[in-house]
Structure 1
Amino acid sequence: MKLTTKMKTLTLAIAMSFSLQAADLTIAYDSDPVSMDPMEQLSGATLQMSHLLFDPLVRTNSQLEYVPRLAERWEKVSPTVTRFYLRQGVKFHSGNDMTADDVIWSFNRYRESGDFKAVFEPYAEMVKVDDHTVELIAKAPYPLVLANATYLFVMDSKFYTGQSEDGKAKDAIEKNTGSFASTNVSGTGVFKLKSRQQGVELVLEKNPDYWGESGNVENVKWVPIKENATRLAALLSGGVDLISPVAPTDLDRVEQSDNHHLLTLPSDRIITVQLNQKVVPEFKDVRVRQAVIHAINNEGIVDKIMRGFATPAGQNSPVGYAGHDPSLTPRFDLDKAKALMKEAGYEDGFTVTMISPNDRYVNDEKIAQAIAAMLARINIKVELTTMPKAQYWPEFDKCENGIQLIGWSSDTGDSANYSEYLTMTRDAETGRGQYNCGHYSNPEMDALVNAANQETDAEKRAALLKQVSKIEYDDAAFVPLHWQNLSWGLANKVTNLKDYVNLKEFPLLGDLIIEE
């Protein structure tokens, strides 16, 4: 049999994994996941954790191509039905076999999650064909089935069934309560949970029964280090092997180190500010919202605070995504901002509260401080509170502050997802607008997003999403700041991270090769 290039690469990787000695990896992120439950919170840290302890049906590789995971292949049975053929012989950490029943149980649990239900809202059901085949049935022809499948991490239904010692259901999805699922793990992932102290360290060990090939990392220690300087010092001193993010001011120091190297990528994560119309009546006036956008110099933030390591944003859709409109550019204009405030009758301004994390996004606290200073120039007095991510998300979910900062990366590699979560009318039943704490609502825009999500013609879909972008822009539905770049600092012994990461920022650490 003639070996293809991909087969040769895989064969080489497997040979290397056998020839290299088992190694340990210590990583330092700016924060740690709030839970071990992959369905509790739709956040980057949760998804990073999920790729280590669980497996999705499908995942994207470094080139953003869809590749098999727990589903070894798939096919379109009809315009609304996709059939997934599951791997056989896969075991959970508990020792239980993974079957179609676990996939369907996981799918149904996702649909009960406040954070994830919007991802799976387009589907009517998932049905069992046999023990290793399932069909995902959409309510209407839907163009993003595989994208959604990358978010379907499969949990051990038997392990999570029944009651825990406190008498609560083991499968309960509860935010910030220390539920059974948030502290106990049985996935199919390359690593198993060994120990965890939230805010201190997360320790993982290699799953000896892992179904697939992997690198030579035997143990992973995930240490949250909030301060940029401390995180960098830990890398340069050899205390950790990998850090993320590298602060824009520290990129050169990593590149200039003989023992380390830098990996950077553009991302689709937008950093935004929401203006809460329910808490601050003044924000119901589109002129006030537009004034805020014109008062914030997001290009200056990118230049001075991000040191150019970001891209100023004017809309929810990045370049290259369906829905991107090149005419919707940043619009800093202080004179116009003041004129709009005067026209709206708020020339003397008003006072608002603002919250921001201080360890979730690159320079998030400094960005929030800059925004507060910029808004003071149009007489909006900002009472700013910043806090660690573990405290921030519960506070964010209350939607009780006038201004709230949030970043978002598309869960589908598609611009509609930003609108679905950040600007569509809040709807607890469908999950739409789950993170829309601005309480912006526009039925016309909602209808356009829904229409786009049923349009399989790429050009027609892009045209619909461009209309969405224009409405968000004209209505000042949110305040776009910038697209955040990604960065990792690596010890030289970590040789192949570039092959196992993409703009989604979910490094597949189980595939890493460590050369001692």
Structure 2
Amino acid sequence: MKLRNTLAAAALAILASVAPAFAARTDIRIGLVLEPAALDPTTTAGAATKEVTYQNIFEGLTQIDQNGAVQPALATSWTISPDNLTYTFTLAPNVKFHDGTPFAADDVKFSIERIIAPDSTNSQKDLYAGVIDSVTVIDPLTVEIKLKAPSGNFLFDLGRGAAIIVSPKTEANNATHPIGTGPFRFVQWDKGSRVVLERNPDYWGKPVALDKATFVFIGDPATAVSALLAGDVDGFNNFAAPEAVDIFKANPQFTVAVGTTEGETLLATNNKRKPFDDLRVRQAIAHAINRQELIEGAGHGFGVPIGSHFAPHNPYYIDLTNTYPFDPAEGKRLLAEAGFPNGFSTTIKLPPVPYARLGGQILAQQLAAIGIKAQLINVEWAQWLTDVYTNHDFDLTVISHVEPFDIGIYADPNYYFGYDDPEFQAIIAKLNATTDDAQRKDLAQQAQRRLAEQAVNGYLFELAQVGVWNSKVQGYWLNAPIEGMVLRDIHWVD
């Protein structure tokens, strides 16, 4: 018997030594609420495009890390002149675009000049066109950018999705077949269903763990829950059904990761359209808003109240939620003063994200309490981009603006809010030209106060990032300091 046990143990040891180990998975399926309208982040507004492409397919001279800090990317280092007007970038060597074309300084010059060109359709053109004076190629791996005035945000802005570097050979087709320099290359886009990426075997930087990543578009909350439970997707960085989070908290097969975003959730207002061009009407709407009710109902308890267009975790933030406290009686008084003693009718266009659809219902009830009858109009994402963002054909809408430090959008009178205020524009001009941190903080707070006092939009809450993931997936970002579903560090553990 002793001999038999010894032989059995030896046999098991031999089998263990030759049996193949189960390797960790190298593919992942990630659920996204919205499908991109296109895959070129330089010409398409909205976070959906950047979630697929940012730091995955495309890269910039700099990149933003998960802590919101600027890091080298295609530019491995840089120097800044004493007057803060000239930036000289040293580029990474041996970089190729996904089609095999070598990357060099000429591509940087082309990409930056494309952004600031008079006919540019870049979604963030104003961040660059008013700042950059010239781009000069020094040699194939050195490029010089001169500014019109010092800019405290310049290196950060170069790390945004709107400033990625593209190839002159392929930029015209990036909307449907994106070609960049990133760690993943585009494989296919099945409209209405998914986008598939695969590892770039010729990537110049740190190798990634994943061989394949599939973004699956699931906007319906119930379908999102079912897809996770069935294993059809491996995770969401922004879960479509926060009301169902407790189901996953109680299941050891999943990890619930709650972080912060740069997403200011707004009842965005068309300031150029009557009666919203009247400050008293906007103030009345501000008094009608019960933020905590919205956080509980639309955010299912996730979110932080805001009183202006600024993220609460930013060191420049000030709490302005009491500028117009919840006071329906005061809202009615202001409407009567503005000539609407019996209220008026309006519309709220709602994109297909849960916080907007649910938030719209709650806001309609809150506005009704002061006499504003709001018709809810559900629109798909592409239609929202066309009707609201591009054509400014709306009264009110509910949306989260997820780009970091984007308070400067209010300085553009042609932006879809239609807010044209020389006082605010002067504040932002000073902010953009200031590098001293204490002065920047003061100016940023002046800007926040001006927006709050003017009730430009209804400021609701800062959107939380509620992720639900297979518990064996690691390396995703807890917080979202910039728009993107960055894949480079994601991996599976046994």
Q: TM-score, normalised by structure 2?
A: 0.89
Q: Which residue of 2 aligns with 1:212?
A: 205
Mapped pair 1:116 → 2:103: no
Equivalent position SS for 1:104: helix
Mapped pair 1:223 → 2:210: no
Q: Which residue of 1 aligns with 2:257?
A: 263
Return the match for 1:348 from 315, 319, 342.
Answer: 342
Return the match for 2:134 from 118, 125, 128.
Answer: 125
Return the match for 1:156 from 152, 167, 171.
Answer: 167
C-alpha distance in structure 1 between counterparts of 2:287 and 2:156, whole Å: 35
Q: Which residue of 1 aligns with 2:359?
A: 367
Name the CA shift for 1:455/1:498 in 2 (closer, same or farther; >3 Å).
Answer: closer
Mapped pair 1:503 → 2:490: no
C-alpha distance in structure 1 between counterparts of 2:187 and 2:61, whole Å: 24
Given residue 513 of structure 1, which amino acid in structure 2 is its aligned partner?
A: H
Q: Which residue of 2 aligns with 1:97?
A: 102
Given residue 426 of structure 1, which amino acid in structure 2 is its aligned partner?
A: P
Asked if structure 2 preserves the Cα contact closer than 8 Å seen for 1:349 and 1:379, the reply is yes
Deviations 1:177-219 (A, max 9, x none): xxx3311222111111111122211111111111112332111
Large movers: runs of 4+ above 6 Å: none
Name the CA shift for 1:98/1:63 in 2 (closer, same or farther; >3 Å).
Answer: same
Asked if structure 2 preserves the Cα contact closer than 8 Å seen for 1:271 and 1:406, the reply is yes
Asked if structure 1 preserves the Cα contact closer than 8 Å seen for 2:465 and 2:480, the reply is no
C-alpha distance in structure 2 between counterparts of 1:114 and 1:24, whole Å: 32
Deviation of 1:350 after TM superposition, in Å, equals 1.3
Greater alpha carbon shift after TM alignment, 244-253 vs 375-384:
244-253
Asked if structure 2 preserves the Cα contact closer than 8 Å seen for 1:322 and 1:466, the reply is no
Equivalent position SS for 2:287: helix
Deviation of 1:44 after TM superposition, in Å, equals 1.4
Return the match for 2:368 from 376, 393, 403.
Answer: 376
Q: Which residue of 1 aligns with 2:46?
A: 43
Given residue 411 of structure 2, which amino acid in structure 1 is its aligned partner?
A: M
Asked if structure 1 preserves the Cα contact closer than 8 Å seen for 2:297 and 2:362, the reply is no
Given residue 41 of structure 2, which amino acid in structure 1 is its aligned partner?
A: P
Deviations 1:212-263 (A, max 9, x none): 1233211111110011121122112211111232232122222211211111
Q: TM-score, normalised by structure 1?
A: 0.85
C-alpha distance in structure 2 between counterparts of 1:137 and 1:209, whole Å: 32
Mapped pair 1:450 → 2:425: no
Mapped pair 1:481 → 2:427: no
Deviation of 1:116 after TM superposition, in Å, equals 1.9
Asked if structure 2 preserves the Cα contact closer than 8 Å seen for 1:36 and 1:182, the reply is yes
Unpaired stretches in structure 1, ≥5 consecutive residues = 1-18, 161-169, 171-179, 428-433
C-alpha distance in structure 2 between counterparts of 1:472 and 1:215, whole Å: 43
Given residue 96 of structure 1, which amino acid in structure 2 is its aligned partner?
A: T
Given residue 201 of structure 1, which amino acid in structure 2 is its aligned partner?
A: R
Asked if structure 1 preserves the Cα contact closer than 8 Å seen for 2:50 and 2:484, the reply is yes
Given residue 168 of structure 2, which amino acid in structure 1 is its aligned partner?
A: S
Mapped pair 1:138 → 2:116: no
Larger Rg: 2
C-alpha distance in structure 1 between counterparts of 2:127 and 2:248, whole Å: 38
C-alpha distance in structure 1 between counterparts of 2:91 and 2:360, whole Å: 46
Given residue 346 of structure 1, which amino acid in structure 2 is its aligned partner?
A: F
Deviation of 1:515 after TM superposition, in Å, equals 2.9
C-alpha distance in structure 2 between counterparts of 1:49 and 1:498, whole Å: 14
Mapped pair 1:324 → 2:317: yes
Given residue 34 of structure 2, which amino acid in structure 1 is its aligned partner?
A: S
Given residue 458 of structure 2, which amino acid in structure 1 is its aligned partner?
A: V
Deviation of 1:315 after TM superposition, in Å, equals 1.1
Mapped pair 1:53 → 2:57: yes
Matches within 5 A, 1:272-287: 272-279=266-273, 281-287=274-280
Equivalent position SS for 1:366: helix
Name the CA shift for 1:328/1:376 in 2 (closer, same or farther; >3 Å).
Answer: closer
Deviations 1:319-374 (A, max 9, x none): 34365333553621111111111122211111112211023xx4210101111121
Mapped pair 1:181 → 2:160: no
Given residue 23 of structure 1, which amino acid in structure 2 is its aligned partner?
A: T
C-alpha distance in structure 1 between counterparts of 2:418 and 2:209, whole Å: 48
Asked if structure 1 preserves the Cα contact closer than 8 Å seen for 2:255 and 2:469, the reply is yes
Deviation of 1:22 after TM superposition, in Å, equals 6.0
Equivalent position SS for 1:303: helix
Equivalent position SS for 1:338: helix
Given residue 183 of structure 1, which amino acid in structure 2 is its aligned partner?
A: T
Asked if structure 1 preserves the Cα contact closer than 8 Å seen for 2:477 and 2:486, the reply is no
Q: Which residue of 2 aligns with 1:459?
A: 438
Asked if structure 2 preserves the Cα contact closer than 8 Å seen for 1:272 and 1:482, the reply is yes
Deviations 1:399-426 (A, max 9, x none): 1111122221234xx3xx22x22x2242
C-alpha distance in structure 2 between counterparts of 1:315 and 1:189, whole Å: 35
Q: Which residue of 2 aligns with 1:12?
A: none
Name the CA shift for 1:153/1:438 in 2 (closer, same or farther; >3 Å).
Answer: closer
C-alpha distance in structure 1 between counterparts of 2:316 and 2:493, whole Å: 43
Deviation of 1:29 after TM superposition, in Å, equals 0.8
Name the CA shift for 1:320/1:363 in 2 (closer, same or farther; >3 Å).
Answer: closer
C-alpha distance in structure 2 between counterparts of 1:320 and 1:206, whole Å: 34
Name the CA shift for 1:328/1:262 in 2 (closer, same or farther; >3 Å).
Answer: closer
C-alpha distance in structure 1 between counterparts of 2:102 and 2:30, whole Å: 31
Alignment RMSD = 1.9
Given residue 431 of structure 2, which amino acid in structure 1 is its aligned partner?
A: A
Asked if structure 2 preserves the Cα contact closer than 8 Å seen for 1:143 and 1:456, the reply is yes
Deviation of 1:128 after TM superposition, in Å, equals 1.1
Q: Which residue of 2 aligns with 1:83?
A: 88
Q: Which residue of 2 aligns with 1:14?
A: none
Asked if structure 1 preserves the Cα contact closer than 8 Å seen for 2:347 and 2:395, the reply is yes
Q: Which residue of 2 aligns with 1:164?
A: none
Q: Which residue of 2 aligns with 1:309?
A: 302
Equivalent position SS for 2:81: strand
Deviation of 1:20 after TM superposition, in Å, equals 5.9
